[in-house]
Amino acid sequence: MLRRLKFIGALGVMLLMALLVSAEQRFPPPDFENGYSLPSTSTPAARQLWLQYGDTAVFLAALGTAVWLIYKKRSRRGVFWLSLFSLAYFGFYRKGCICPIGSPQNIVYGLFNPGYAVPLTVLIFCFAPIVVALFGGRAFCAGVCPQGALQDLVLIKPIVVPPWLEHALGVVPYIFLGAGLICAGTGTGFLICRYDPFVPFFRLSGGTFILTFGAAFLLMGMFVGRPYCRFLCPYGGLLRVASLASKWRVRVTPDTCTQCRLCEQSCPFGAMREPPSPETNPKWLRAERKRLGWLLALLPVLILAGAWGGSKFSPTAAQLNPTVALAERYARQQIHPVEYGLMTPEALSLQRAADNPAAILTQAADLRRRFALACALFGGWVGLVIGVKLAALSVRPSRTDFEPDRGACFACARCFTACPNERVRLGLAPAAQGAEPL
């Protein structure tokens, strides 16, 4: 250390002399006499813009192909090969970092930070799968999403997730979406991208935590179909809502359902729904209606309670923001100084705060105000999600056939060939003798 200080001191003297000579540069660039020419600094170009538009074209083409394979061809094999292509292209070739899952964050970040212009490609990646879902369900999840394709590949022995667990975990994507969006809106960071478990696999490198997280999901994915898509993916949550209003839907049977229940086992994602029994007890019906009424009345209460609870969390949540965290560390440092090592990131950032404390503190105060609002909104959102989930559980389904649930169905096309009527249509099985389809 002493040696180092002596060295620094000696250099300081040298420096001072150099400064007297040249105010612009400590050591003026030499005039070479032997004809030496200055090399230029190399600047390898970033990925060309037209290639990015190429990615968008591939993406739109893949979406279109997925819809065609699911509705026109009704081909699981086609969807499977398309998803493998997407895994190779968007996953391993593009390293998973041009994907719609994180794009709602960019949109929200763009809305609240006027300095950031949302690139056109991001707009298309965000909105195109939602538009497709509004007409044809989650075709994106089935054929285009590399994360989904990877989970589909590792699935070997799907087990049935009990409905209570399925429904309880089903609200997690929406809560995660809310958290991701408030973090993006306040400029804190892109949580959804940070905790994407499969992108490190596409890149073939990553931190210990995220690799463990990803490995856990892949292991789980061997026995639970698409655990990330069902229980965490926030974009999947958006598509789920969008496909509730879809114009066309995946139908297992090409004509009439014989209620044979064969399709029920073909769905590894627990999306197949049994039709409710046609004879209904008017007494139950009244009780159900009453429950639904109560739950709908409870909704505003849940939202308000959530908003109140959320606002309580805002000081803690604000610390997620690096600027707020730095401001607080700086304020603490004034009272209880902590020694940080020389040239460590902590010491350097504190130095930056100390150079211009007013800027950091006002920025932090502004961010805290933003967080107060954002956390109240987030709490209200959590209340709304839970309330709507409870209410949705009390709505009686209106189906007469075995059908995949509109929202939960990934449109993977597995169930088609499980249906005996479809097998007859494809000529894989002889038409039923004697027994007419119902």
DSSP 403: E
Q: According to CB under 8 A, which one of 13, 20, 335, 343 is a site residue for other proteins?
A: 343
According to DSSP, the residues that pair with 272 across neighbouring strands are: 404
Rounded CA-CA distance 288/299 in Å is 17
Instruction: Return the number of the residue (45 or 435) whose C-beta is nearest other proteins.
Output: 45
3-class secondary structure, 106: helix
Q: According to CB under 8 A, which one of 26, 77, 286, 332 is a site residue for other proteins?
A: 26
| CA 226 to mean position of chain CA atoms | 14
Q: According to CB under 8 A, which one of 13, 20, 46, 156 is a site residue for other proteins?
A: 46
Instruction: Return the number of the residue (367 or 418) whose C-beta is nearest other proteins.
Output: 367
Residues in contact with other proteins, total (CB under 8 A)?
80
Residue numbers 198-227 binding other proteins by CB under 8 A: 200, 203, 205-207
As given in the structure block, the two tokens for residue 40 are 């230029």
Instruction: Return the number of the residue (16 or 431) whose C-beta is nearest other proteins.
Output: 16
Rounded CA-CA distance 129/243 in Å is 10
Binding track over 385-404 against other proteins, x by CB under 8 A: -----------x-x-x----
- Angle, helices 357-393 vs 322-335, to 10°: value is 130
Instruction: Return the number of the residue (47 or 312) whose C-beta is nearest other proteins.
Output: 47
Residue-wise over 355-379: b if at least 16 C-beta within 10 A, else e? Answer: eeeeebbeebeebbebbbebbbbbb
Residue with tokens 């997925």: 66
> Interior CA angle at 371 toward 370 and 374, to 5°?
90
Q: Which stretch binds other proteins (CB under 8 A): 44-52, 145-153, 214-222, 408-416?
A: 44-52
The minimum distance between CB 312 and other proteins, in angstroms, equals 26
According to DSSP, the residues that pair with 404 across neighbouring strands are: 272
Contact 154, 214 (CB under 8 A): no
Binding track over 82-121 against other proteins, x by CB under 8 A: -------------x-x----x--xxx--xx--x-xxxxxx
The minimum distance between CB 104 and other proteins, in angstroms, equals 11
The answer to whether residue 286 forms part of the interface with other proteins (CB under 8 A) is: no
The minimum distance between CB 247 and other proteins, in angstroms, equals 7
Within 8 A by CB and 6+ apart from 53, the residues are 121
User: Where on the phi/psi map is residue 41: left (φ > 0), alpha (ψ -120 to 50), or beta?
Assistant: beta
Residue numbers 222-281 binding other proteins by CB under 8 A: 242, 244-247
Pairing of strands 272-273, 403-404: antiparallel
Q: According to CB under 8 A, which one of 13, 33, 339, 438 is a site residue for other proteins?
A: 33
The answer to whether residue 49 forms part of the interface with other proteins (CB under 8 A) is: yes
The answer to whether residue 320 forms part of the interface with other proteins (CB under 8 A) is: no
Instruction: Return the number of the residue (104 or 178) whose C-beta is nearest other proteins.
Output: 104
The minimum distance between CB 304 and other proteins, in angstroms, equals 25
The answer to whether residue 189 forms part of the interface with other proteins (CB under 8 A) is: yes
The minimum distance between CB 47 and other proteins, in angstroms, equals 7
The answer to whether residue 339 forms part of the interface with other proteins (CB under 8 A) is: no
Rounded CA-CA distance 129/72 in Å is 18
Q: Which stretch binds other proteins (CB under 8 A): 130-138, 151-159, 166-174, 228-236?
A: 130-138
Query: Which of 171, 228, 191 is CA-nearest to residue 381?
Result: 171
Q: Residue 365: which H helix or E strand, with range?
A: helix 357-393
The minimum distance between CB 367 and other proteins, in angstroms, equals 13
According to DSSP, the residues that pair with 64 across neighbouring strands are: none
The minimum distance between CB 320 and other proteins, in angstroms, equals 11
The answer to whether residue 362 forms part of the interface with other proteins (CB under 8 A) is: no
Within 8 A by CB and 6+ apart from 358, the residues are none
In the structure, how many helices (H) and strands (E) does the chain have? 20, 2
Instruction: Return the number of the residue (245 or 301) whose C-beta is nearest other proteins.
Output: 245
As given in the structure block, the two tokens for residue 93 are 């070739």
The minimum distance between CB 264 and other proteins, in angstroms, equals 21
According to DSSP, the residues that pair with 403 across neighbouring strands are: 273
Contact 213, 197 (CB under 8 A): yes
Instruction: Return the number of the residue (68 or 135) whose C-beta is nearest other proteins.
Output: 135
3-class secondary structure, 404: strand
The minimum distance between CB 156 and other proteins, in angstroms, equals 29
The answer to whether residue 301 forms part of the interface with other proteins (CB under 8 A) is: no
Residue numbers 140-179 binding other proteins by CB under 8 A: none
